[in-house]
């Protein structure tokens, strides 16, 4: 086999996202990726044959190609119904039950949406009384509906939020009308939310049994909120389909950008770089980083190993975290989310007095200025000892965001298998829940309650 290592992925960069690993070349030897190509090929086959660890949760692999027209049309119709009847739609969920949708919506929406557009807000992703009270005050003079997302219906944060907001909805509209304003995305056959939805006759969508929460953005979990926000889920799915074809057809780096990403980050991890910082230069991409952090953190952080995912927003954070990144511990590598073309144009104006000395920028597009800040920062950080992976989106639109989502999902599966962990479970998440339930005296936790009270000096 021929290994062409330090090149960009050979796909048309004007029509696909592009991965550039040139800036990690000085930090790793040629043999590192050659060796990893052999491992990648093995784990690629394991993913496709669904014979590896966690194989009960690999439904996301085939998901883009398996979404049928009937489901898309139903989502579009329900989204239009809620949007036409609601000034605000509340998406209730935590973790993968809201992060994917918020990532896509925040990437595509204007920073300041026009007046009169349907507003999407989120609840059930924390336990703050101040937040929930503020949300209820915000809803006082607004029509609203609810999309509640939970496989079990008993996860504490969304269950509390749904209990509170459902009562507000029923007080506002009456029980029968309120039921038409609630859509539940949940298990197809069991769980508290499914039981409630059947009893109250809510519209429902299924969370597939073989798709875990953090991989669920291309199910109704993500698609319905995105459609309610008014964006094309067809284009989003099409982008994911294109990336699926690339990722499934080959394990060779030049043909599979997700394979190259998994190999590059693991090569850096093995040489003592356990912390990956996702960098964006567009505020619209902040929640893409948040979704990515859950996807990789929850998938890889196991058995006392894994790459720690962090994120910064430049140029803002260059005035805070920039110092540490330039001169701090050299245990970091960066993955830069770069946008080639902006959908907006803003020229820096000329000022004859030039009081700020910025007339040298007059007539230049602000996106170009931002790109020069990005290039200058990458050069400085590379000189400072940070390897940099660069991921280029031709522009921010539903198609390329769809590509990006599937790229990260497939790369995550490969990367976690390279780390020899199960990408699709989350055993560590249960530890805090056990303690929280014990401290709240939940029935069935009596022994744990006594043990923790003693430990805390409360007994």
Residue 4 has pLDDT above 80, yes or no: no
Q: Mean pLDDT check: name the lowest of 2-6, 233-237, 272-276, 422-426.
A: 2-6
pLDDT at 450: 81
Query: Predicted confidence band at 85 (pLDDT cuts at 50, 70, 90)?
Result: very high
Q: What is the per-residue pLDDT for 449?
A: 83
Q: 411: pLDDT confidence band, cut at 50, 70 and 90?
A: very high
Judged by average pLDDT, the poorest of 25-29, 180-184, 254-258, 373-377 is 25-29
pLDDT digits (tens, 9 = 90+) for 340-370: 999 999 999 999 999 999 999 999 999 999 9
CATH fold, domain 62-231, is: Rossmann fold (3.40.50)
* pLDDT in the model for residue 443: 87
Residue 2 pLDDT: 28
> What pLDDT band is residue 429 in, cutting at 50, 70 and 90?
confident
- Rounded to whole angstroms, the Cα distance separating 105 from 108 reads 5
Band of pLDDT at residue 11, cut at 50, 70 and 90: very low
115: left (phi over 0), alpha (psi -120 to 50) or beta: beta
Residue 390: strand, helix, or coil? strand
Lookup result for tokens 């074809």: 245
Spatial CA neighbour of 338 closest among 365, 372, 366, 309: 372
Domain 18-49+249-418 homologous superfamily, CATH: Glucose-6-phosphate isomerase like protein; domain 1 (3.40.50.10490)
Residues assigned a catalytic role: 298, 319, 433
Tell me the pLDDT band of 145, cut-offs 50, 70 and 90. very high
Q: In the prediction, which pLDDT does 12 show? A: 47
DSSP state string for 45-79: HHHHHT-STTGGG-GGGGHHHH--HHHHHHHHHHH
- Angle in degrees, 0-180, between the axes of helices 233-249 and 398-418, rounded to the nearest 10: 40
Cis preceding-peptide flag for 315 (omega within 30 of 0) = yes
pLDDT band at residue 13 using 50, 70 and 90 as cut-offs: very low
Tokens, residue 391: 């991921």
Please list the residue range(s) of the chain that carry CATH number 3.40.50.10490. Answer: 18-49+249-418, 62-231
Answer whether 0.75 is exceeded by the pTM.
yes
Whether 10 has a pLDDT exceeding 60, the answer reads no
When mean pLDDT is compared across 49-53, 236-240, 297-301, the lowest value belongs to: 49-53
Helix (H) or strand (E) holding 278: strand 275-280
Contacts of 51 (CB under 8 A, 6+ apart): none
Which pLDDT score is estimated for 194? 95
Which pLDDT score, from 0 to 100, does residue 29 have? 77
What is the model's pLDDT at position 1?
Answer: 27
Span 157-168, pLDDT tens digits: 999 999 999 999
The average pLDDT across 256-279 equals: 96
270-282 per-position pLDDT tens digit = 999 999 999 999 9
Q: Residues of the chain with pLDDT > 90: what percent?
A: 80
């Amino acid at each position: 086999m021929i290994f062409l290592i330090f090149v960009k992925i050979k796909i048309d960069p004007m029509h696909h996202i592009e991965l550039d690993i040139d800036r990690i070349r000085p930090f790793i030897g040629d043999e590192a990726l050659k060796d990893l190509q052999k491992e990648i090929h093995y784990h690629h086959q394991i993913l496709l044959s669904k014979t590896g660890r966690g194989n009960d949760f690999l439904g996301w692999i085939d998901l883009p190609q398996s979404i049928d027209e009937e489901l898309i049309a139903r989502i579009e119709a329900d989204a239009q119904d809620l949007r036409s009847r609601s000034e605000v739609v509340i998406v209730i969920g935590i973790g993968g039950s809201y992060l994917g949708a918020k990532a896509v919506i925040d990437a595509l929406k204007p920073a300041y949406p026009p007046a009169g557009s349907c507003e999407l807000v989120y609840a059930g992703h924390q336990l703050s009384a101040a937040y929930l009270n503020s949300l209820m005050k915000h809803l006082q003079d607004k029509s609203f509906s609810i999309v509640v997302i939970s496989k079990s219906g008993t996860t504490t944060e969304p269950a509390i939020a749904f209990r509170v907001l459902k009562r507000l909805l029923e007080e506002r509209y009456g029980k029968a009308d309120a039921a038409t304003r609630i859509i539940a995305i949940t298990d197809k056959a069991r769980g508290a939310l499914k039981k409630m939805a059947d009893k109250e006759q809510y519209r429902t969508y299924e969370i597939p049994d073989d798709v875990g929460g953090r991989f669920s953005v291309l199910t109704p979990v993500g698609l319905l909120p995105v459609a309610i926000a008014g964006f094309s889920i067809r284009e989003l799915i099409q982008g994911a389909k294109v990336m699926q074809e690339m990722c499934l057809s080959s394990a060779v780096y030049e043909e599979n950008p997700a394979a190259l990403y998994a190999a590059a980050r693991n090569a850096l991890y093995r040489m003592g770089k356990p912390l990956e910082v996702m960098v964006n230069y567009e505020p619209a991409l902040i929640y893409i980083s948040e979704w990515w952090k859950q996807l990789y953190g929850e998938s890889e952080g196991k058995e006392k190993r894994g790459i720690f995912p962090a994120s910064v927003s430049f140029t803002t954070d260059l005035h805070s975290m920039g110092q540490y990144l330039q001169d701090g511990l050299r245990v970091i590598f960066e993955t830069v989310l770069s946008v080639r073309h902006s959908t907006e144009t803003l020229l820096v104006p000329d000022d004859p007095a030039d009081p700020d000395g910025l007339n040298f920028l007059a007539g230049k597009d602000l996106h170009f200025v931002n790109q020069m800040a990005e290039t200058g920062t990458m050069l400085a950080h590379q000189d400072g000892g940070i390897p940099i992976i660069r991921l280029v989106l031709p522009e921010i639109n539903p198609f390329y965001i769809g590509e990006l989502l599937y790229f990260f999902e497939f790369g995550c599966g490969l990367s976690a298998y390279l780390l020899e962990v199960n990408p699709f479970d989350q055993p560590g998440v249960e530890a805090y829940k056990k303690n929280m339930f014990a401290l709240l005296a939940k029935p069935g936790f009596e022994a744990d309650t006594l043990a923790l009270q003693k430990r805390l000096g409360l007994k």
